[in-house]
């Protein structure tokens, strides 16, 4: 059994001292995308985040989601979970097929809040320590962690030291707090990351604020980390680590080739193509609509040929660059034509790039609480409006004709009187006739009691003559 290396020995001898790292991305960092990223400069890749309960208990989940090859190295597999034994059981399935297992402690999304994992374990240090220490003791590969920062630098440092003590061999820090997401993303705090780097002894990656290749070296210089992890920018420009901005169709062609080779699922393929063509699709809506209508991988390949041909023609024309992003306040923005790979700017990110990180983050949790309350109120008002609309909606027309007697219940077409059962019962007794449809046999009963031909009864159900 080979010796499990730790710390910088693990970082140098097993991982190969990587500086350019592709982050774990749900439904996005699958095998085909990892191969494309490695071909374009990535030195270490993570799998998508796997849910440890599903991975531990379902062979189907493992078969559908975890794929790798001997060339797919170095590789770190990431899990989320809140039970030490469950996470360990899941990790045991992959320890022979990867170089390390990572614990997700940074996911800030609502699903992580509901599932009680990711960044929402941030305040349960005893639980985190028990998971990390168990993985460290029981696995044949090292355990690594990915976290977000607290607002207080001192607390983040103590948090990182706790994980180092528990057995974490490599730490990735996303320089945003748990509340900084969606429209309140803001910018990652590199100074915060630098303070943690100076306090711990294990290898460390930084995550956040990477838009161009130049940002990688700036981040390493500013924080002192060993490598830089990027997620979203990699999705828009998989050639980020080469410092190039290739034509989008070249990346799409190569990705589709790899995806077909590895039989990548349709949803993964379509998602990546939309990310790569994001800027072009904002300009050329007809091409976006074309790709939106595809239903299988081969349809994506066919649509790609049409899109590629049009963009190649655009690249040959001397036309002014069409600006579709709010970038006028971003000093680092590169004006590139829409047909080349480039980062996607959100307006909130641009505002943050030119402002003070602390101002962007101010009272973020309070803002999010107000937004949640507003969404709940909107939902309540929508339900009330639907209820009011239902009350005002006119009654539906009867499918059947009304009963010829009471005119309240629907009458039956097969009834001899065209009545409802209740009225039919009264009428048949009155006239001494049978209604086979309603199973009322007044005439048959009368004949059994008084004979087949009564002088007091006229034929064909006429009323009985009374004296």
Could you give the residue numbers annotated as active site?
107
- Would you state the structure tokens that stand for residue 134, as one six-digit string? 């168990």
Could you tell me the sign of the dihedral formed by the alpha carbons of 261, 264, 266, 271, in that order?
negative
Is the separation of the CB atoms in 173 and 160 below 8 Å? yes
Find the largest Cα–Cα distance for the chain.
118
**Crossing angle of helices 190-197 and 213-223, rounded to 10°:** 50
Q: How far is CA 59 from CA 30, 128, 233, 264, 365, in A?
A: 18, 26, 33, 18, 39
CA angle 47–50–54, rounded 5-degree value? 150
What is the C-alpha to C-alpha distance for residues 240 and 23, in angstroms, rounded to an integer? 13
Is the separation of the CB atoms in 245 and 211 below 8 Å? no
From the CA atom positions of the chain, what is the Rg in Å?
35
Pick the closest to residue 233 from 334, 308, 120 (CA basis): 334
What is the C-alpha to C-alpha distance for residues 213 and 321, in angstroms, rounded to an integer? 22
- Would you state the structure tokens that stand for residue 185, as one six-digit string? 């993303």
- Would you state the structure tokens that stand for residue 255, as one six-digit string? 């990705």
What is the C-alpha to C-alpha distance for residues 226 and 336, in angstroms, rounded to an integer? 30
**φ, ψ (nearest 5 deg) of residue 268:** -60, -45
Element (H, E) at 434: strand 434-435
For tokens 């030490």, what's the residue? 84
């Amino acid at each position: 059994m080979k010796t499990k290396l730790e710390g910088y020995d693990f970082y140098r001898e097993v991982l190969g001292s990587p500086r350019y790292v592709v982050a774990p991305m749900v439904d996005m960092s699958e095998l085909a995308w990892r191969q494309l990223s490695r071909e374009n400069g990535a030195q270490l890749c993570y799998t998508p985040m796997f849910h440890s309960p599903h991975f531990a208990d379902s062979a189907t989940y493992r078969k559908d989601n975890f794929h790798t090859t001997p060339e797919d190295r170095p590789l770190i597999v990431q899990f989320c979970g809140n039970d030490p034994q469950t996470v360990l059981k899941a990790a045991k399935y992959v320890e022979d097929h990867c170089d390390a297992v990572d614990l997700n402690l940074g996911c800030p999304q609502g699903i992580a809040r509901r599932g009680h994992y990711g960044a929402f374990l941030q305040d349960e240090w005893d639980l985190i320590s028990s998971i990390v220490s168990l993985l460290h003791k029981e696995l044949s590969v090292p355990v690594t962690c990915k976290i977000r920062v607290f607002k207080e630098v001192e607390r983040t440092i103590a948090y990182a030291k706790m994980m180092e003590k528990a057995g974490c061999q490599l730490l990735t820090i996303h320089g945003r707090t748990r509340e900084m997401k969606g429209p309140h993303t803001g910018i990652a705090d590199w100074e915060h990351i630098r303070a943690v780097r100076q306090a711990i002894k294990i290898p460390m990656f930084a995550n956040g604020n990477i838009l161009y290749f130049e940002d990688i070296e700036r981040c390493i210089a500013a924080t002192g980390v060993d490598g830089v992890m990027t997620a979203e920018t990699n999705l828009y420009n998989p050639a980020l680590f080469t410092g190039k901005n290739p034509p989008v169709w070249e990346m799409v062609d190569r990705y589709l080739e790899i995806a077909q080779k590895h039989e990548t699922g349709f949803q993964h393929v379509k998602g990546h193509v939309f990310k790569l063509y994001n800027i072009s699709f904002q300009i050329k809506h007809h091409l976006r609509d074309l790709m939106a209508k595809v239903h299988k991988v081969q349809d994506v390949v066919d649509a790609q040929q049409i899109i590629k041909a049009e963009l190649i023609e655009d690249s040959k024309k001397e036309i002014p660059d069409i600006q579709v992003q709010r970038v006028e306040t971003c000093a680092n923005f590169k004006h590139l034509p829409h047909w080349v790979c480039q980062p996607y700017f959100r307006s909130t990110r641009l505002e943050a790039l030119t402002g003070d990180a602390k101002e962007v983050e101010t009272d973020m949790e309070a803002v999010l609480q107000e937004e949640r309350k507003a969404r709940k109120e909107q939902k309540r008002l929508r339900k009330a409006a639907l209820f009011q609309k239902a009350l005002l909606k006119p009654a539906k027309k009867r499918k059947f004709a009304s009963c010829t007697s009471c005119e309240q219940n629907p009458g039956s077409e097969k009834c001899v009187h065209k009545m409802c059962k209740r009225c039919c019962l009264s009428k048949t007794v009155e006239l001494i006739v049978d209604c086979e449809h309603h199973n009322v046999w007044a005439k048959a009963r009368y004949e059994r009691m008084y004979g087949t031909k009564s002088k007091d009864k006229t034929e064909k159900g006429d009323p009985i003559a009374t004296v």
